[in-house]
Amino acid sequence: TACSSKFVLSQMHPMWQEPLAVPGGDRQSPIDIAVRKSVFDSKLKPLITDYDPKTCQQIWNNGYSFLVEYDDTTDKSTLKGGPLEDKFRLCQFHFHWGECNSWGSEHTVDRKLFPAELHLVHWNADKYSLFEEAVVEDNGLAVLGVFLKIGKRHEGLQKLVDALPTIRHKGSVVEFTKFDPACLLPPNIDNYWTYHGSLTTPPLTESVTWIVMKQHIEVSHDQLAVFRSLLFTAAEEEVQKSMVNNFRETQPLRGRTVRSSFT
Ligand SMILES: NS(=O)(=O)/N=C1/NCCO1
Ligand SMILES: [Zn+2]
């Protein structure tokens, strides 16, 4: 199958019909991170995550990915430092993955594809009062990206994997509490790339400071297989479609510089 071939199909079928070009879209995401073209910035600070597992509320299938949502009505789970001037509140995390382990990530590193990518989505709570307000502002959002590789079983991920069969269909939601998203971060979060981009799913707004971890995390083949057992389709739909390949293609850099926090 295409999965076993080393040469990934050049044109994957994007999940949703993409607008041909986002009006004035000159900072779209994801991108390929060309390592040798990234610029070391010694002024980049260490990242500071302060997540409270008690703010974890629910997990649901939105028909594109599955989201773990946090209570972002107070400053309980926050991200600051790194390239960020303000304090950002965690509102949700989700993943993107392929139909097989040969592809699935959104960002690539020197064109290397990973089997999946985690996104922790935060909004600027120093400047705005709601995610919906921040999502249209240049400095409104900060998304932490972490690549996943196939290897040993990720113990922290298993609680989430065990919940997936209960939200197989689009629109299903179940209570999900006391989950610490910090357990999904790699040991070293001080080595990252950062650039200004956009959401990779509609509304594709150019409001994201992207912070992509250099270090990946490992999950087992079986854990990732459970992601692929989810469905894009609602229970009542005739034809059920497996939730796979829910990633966007890489977008033109348009002269942007990717900075690195490490040499
Ligand atoms: N893949 S992404 O850029 O994080 N997309 C979104 N959309 C809503 C929140 O995050
Ligand atoms: Zn995402």
For ligand 1, pick from 200, 206, 245, 247 the residue to mutate: most ligand atoms within 8 Å of CB.
Answer: 200
Q: Does the CB atom of residue 246 touch ligand 1 within 6 A?
A: no
Q: What tokens were used for 234? A: 């609602």
Nearest ligand 1 atom, CA 199: 3
pLDDT bracket for residue 11 (50, 70, 90): very low
Q: Give yes or no for residue 199 CB within 6 A of ligand 1.
A: yes
Q: Is the pLDDT of residue 9 over 70?
A: no
Region of poorest pLDDT, from 7-21, 154-168, 179-193, 229-243: 7-21
> Above 0.90 for ipTM, yes or no?
yes
Write out pLDDT tens, residues 186-222.
999 999 999 999 999 989 999 999 999 999 999 999 9
The pLDDT value given to residue 1: 59
Closest CA to 244 of 255, 260, 257, 231: 231
DSSP 231: B
Average pLDDT over residues 6-24: 56
pLDDT bucket at 3, cuts 50 / 70 / 90: confident
Count the Cβ atoms, other than its own, within 10 Å of residue 73: 10
Average pLDDT (101-122) is: 98
Point out the ligand 1 atom lying closest to the alpha carbon of residue 94: 4
The SS3 call for residue 251 is: coil
pLDDT at site 10: 44
Q: Which residues have C-beta under 5 Å from ligand 2, the single-atom ion?
A: 119
Distance of CA 145 from the midpoint of ligand 2 (Å):
8
Q: What is the pLDDT of residue 36?
A: 98
Our answer on whether the CB atom of 157 is closer than 6 Å to any ligand 1 atom is no
- State the chain's mean pLDDT as an integer: 94
8: confidence class by pLDDT, cuts 50, 70, 90:
very low
The confidence score (pLDDT) of residue 178 equals 97
Residue from 130, 201, 208 to probe ligand 1 pocket by mutation (most atoms less than 8 Å from CB): 201
Please state the pTM of the whole predicted model: 0.95
- Give residue-wise pLDDT tens across range 42-90: 999 999 999 999 999 999 999 999 999 999 999 999 999 999 999 999 9
Ligand nearest to the CA of 117: 2
pLDDT of 12 over the 50 cut: no
Average pLDDT over residues 220-226: 98
Calpha distance 35→74 (Å, rounded)? 37
Alpha-carbon distance of 92 to 199, in angstroms, equals 13
Position in ligand 1 atom list of the atom nearest CA 200: 3
pLDDT value of position 77: 98
Q: Which of 143, 212, 249 to mutate to test the pocket of ligand 1 (most atoms within 8 A of CB)?
A: 143
192: tokens are: 């990252």
Distance 65 CA to ligand 1 centre (A): 10
